């Protein structure tokens, strides 16, 4: 490592032009270069994860594992260090997402963004923009769709904001793919014989959708291509554009505004600790350590609750499960109205609510307190 660190220092000094006496760590930080140790660890972790999530058809699956009593390999040490990692919840990445002869969504990626800029001004086409964000430990996405005036519901922009999940489990790249898939799926139910232009500022997501490889987000990429195929079968022409940051568009701004946490989201999360916010995000998104969701991702044999009465959904866990009757009492007694209303207890805002509406934070805090008291969701949280 000494020789590699010396090369690192020379490279960092060449980038920022510092003196030879500057420490390697300082030069690396100023030049935004990761240390060699960090890069080695990242590569080793990535390699170990890929070994653990090999498809069943991969030749290495059939290779008999060998263990040694002496000279333990670095990979065995790493496997022991990451023994408690929930492997069942890791994404399985296929070597090939789809056969090469199957059609894929048409994408346009240009550094100058000329074609994308002109497409944003096309009034006769369906135009949609997507955006994703990660703020305060929460990942979400927003979409904005503008139908042409020739359509019966055209002329006005429709925006949608969706919370995906905690930052420990999701990332803006996957959220962007989800946004693109959601837009195309919603349009496939109501649009025929039109040109559809979808704009995204996430270049990696656009490239992945057009040329899927052995990478993360394959499930969402599959949704995108299936929705595009459905739209094409109805006479539509679908194009996915990468929109560079310097290209301004009202549609892009609306999608970005929808992706960023709004006033309602800030009211919910700003007053909570990190652990409380993570618990609330699990309950609001449904992606929680409850059997219903664990069964969906293959981490639990059944979606049935331990009480044996019904599937362990968020609503069943909060209001009906007989295992938590004592812990539930303070939450139920906190309010005399809307008892059993899942949206009310989780701070949900309906479209019909006025702009000055605000969630009942006392009830929301009591709901989070109940979930923490049961300990049912704590195993996902490693921070306090």
DSSP code of residue 238? E
The reported pLDDT for the residue numbered 161 is 83
pLDDT greater than 90 at residue 91: no
65: helix, coil or strand? Answer: coil
Per residue in 270-305, pLDDT tens?
Answer: 777 878 887 888 888 787 889 998 888 788 889 999
Q: What are phi and psi of 65, to 5 degrees?
A: -70, 140
DSSP H helical segments within the chain, as ranges? 2-16, 24-30, 36-52, 74-81, 114-120, 172-187, 203-210, 218-233, 250-259, 263-269, 274-285, 291-296, 314-319, 325-333, 342-345, 361-374
* Structural domains present in the chain: 2-89 (no CATH), 106-259 (3.30.420.10), 263-380 (no CATH)
- CA pair distance 54, 5, nearest whole angstrom: 33
**The predicted structure's pLDDT at residue 253:** 67
Q: How far apart are CA 326 and CA 308, in angstroms?
A: 18
Which position has the higher pLDDT, 371 or 265? 371
Q: Report DSSP state, residue 311.
A: B
Task: Report the Cα–Cα distance between both ends of the chain, in Å, rounded.
Answer: 35
Q: What is the per-residue pLDDT for 189?
A: 86
With contact defined as beta carbons under 8 Å apart, do 129 and 249 qualify? yes
Token digits for 221? Answer: 């990429």
Cα–Cα distance measured from residue 24 to residue 19, given in angstroms and rounded to the nearest whole number: 11
Residues 234-248 have pLDDT tens digits of 999 999 999 887 776
Closest CA to 240 of 214, 211, 217: 211
Of 338, 342, 355, 345, whose CA–CA distance to 264 is shortest? 355
Return the pLDDT at 260.
Answer: 53
Of 5-9, 155-159, 259-263, 300-304, the range with the lowest mean pLDDT is 259-263
Which pLDDT score is estimated for 187? Answer: 92
Quick check: 193 pLDDT over 50? yes
Q: Please check whether residue 237 is in contact with residue 228, taking contact to mean a CB–CB distance below 8 angstroms.
A: no
Give 19 or 357, the one with higher predicted confidence: 357
The pLDDT, as a whole number, for residue 322 is: 92
- CA-closest candidate to residue 242, choices 372, 131, 359: 131
Residue 353 phi/psi, 5-degree rounding, is -70, 145
pLDDT digits (tens, 9 = 90+) for 205-226: 999 998 888 788 888 999 999 9
Confidence of residue 196 (pLDDT cuts 50, 70, 90): very high
Q: How far apart are CA 67 and CA 80, in angstroms?
A: 13
Is pLDDT above 80 for 320? yes
Distances from the Cα of 347 to the Cα of 98, 209, 269, 280, angstroms: 41, 35, 10, 9
The residue with tokens 């030749």 is 59
Cα–Cα distance between 244 and 133 in angstroms, integer? 16
- In this predicted model, what pLDDT tens digit does every residue of 29-79 receive, in sequence order? 766 778 888 888 888 888 888 777 777 777 776 665 655 556 677 777 877
136, two tokens = 């305060």
Give the mean model confidence (pLDDT) for residues 107-123.
86
| pLDDT on residue 36 | 83
Residues 6+ apart with CB under 8 A from 207: 107, 109, 242
**DSSP of 110-140, one letter per residue?**
-SS-HHHHHHHT-TTSEEEEEEEEEETTEEE
DSSP secondary structure string for all residues of 149-198: TTSTT-SSEEEEEEEEEETTT--HHHHHHHHHHHHHHHHTTT--S-EEEE
pLDDT (0 to 100) of residue 44:
87
For the cut 50, the answer to whether the pLDDT of residue 384 exceeds it is no
Any residues with CB less than 8 A from the CB of 328 and at least 6 apart, and which?
Answer: 318, 319, 370
- The reported pLDDT for the residue numbered 383 is 39
């Amino acid at each position: 490592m000494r020789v590699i660190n010396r090369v690192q220092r020379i490279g960092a000094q060449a980038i920022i032009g510092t003196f030879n006496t500057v420490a390697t760590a300082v030069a690396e930080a100023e030049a935004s270069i990761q240390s060699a140790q960090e890069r080695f660890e990242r590569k080793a972790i990535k390699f170990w994860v890929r070994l653990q999530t090999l498809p069943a058809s991969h030749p290495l699956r059939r290779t008999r594992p060998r263990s040694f009593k002496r000279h333990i390999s670095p990979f065995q040490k790493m496997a022991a260090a990451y023994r408690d990692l929930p492997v069942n919840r890791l994404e399985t990445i296929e070597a090939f997402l789809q056969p090469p002869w199957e059609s894929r969504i048409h994408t346009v990626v240009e550094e100058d963004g000329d074609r994308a800029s002109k497409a944003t001004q096309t009034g006769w086409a369906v135009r949609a923009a997507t955006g994703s964000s990660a703020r305060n430990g929460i990942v979400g996405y927003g979409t904005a769709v503008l139908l042409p005036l020739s359509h019966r519901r055209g002329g006005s922009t429709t925006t949608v904001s969706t919370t995906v999940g905690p930052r420990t489990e999701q990332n803006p790249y996957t959220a962007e793919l989800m946004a693109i898939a959601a837009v195309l799926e919603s349009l496939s139910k109501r649009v025929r014989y039109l040109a559809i232009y979808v704009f995204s500022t996430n270049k990696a997501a656009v490239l992945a959708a057009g040329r899927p490889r052995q990478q993360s987000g394959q499930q969402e990429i599959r949704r995108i291509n299936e929705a595009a195929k459905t739209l094409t079968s109805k006479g539509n022409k679908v194009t996915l554009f990468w929109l560079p940051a310097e290209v301004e568009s009202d549609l892009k701004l609306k999608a970005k505004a929808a992706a960023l946490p709004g006033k309602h989201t800030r009211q919910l999360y700003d007053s909570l600790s990190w652990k409380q916010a993570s618990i609330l995000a699990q309950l609001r998104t449904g992606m929680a350590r409850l059997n219903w969701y664990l069964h969906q991702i293959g981490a639990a044999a059944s979606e049935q609750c331990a009480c044996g009465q019904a599937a362990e959904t968020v609503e069943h866990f909060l209001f009906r499960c007989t295992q938590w009757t004592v812990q539930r009492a303070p939450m139920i007694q906190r309010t005399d109205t809307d008892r059993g209303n899942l949206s009310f207890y989780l701070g949900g805002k309906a479209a019909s609510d006025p702009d000055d509406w605000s969630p009942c934070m006392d009830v929301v805090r009591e709901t989070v307190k109940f979930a923490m008291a049961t300990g049912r969701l704590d195993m996902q949280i490693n921070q306090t």
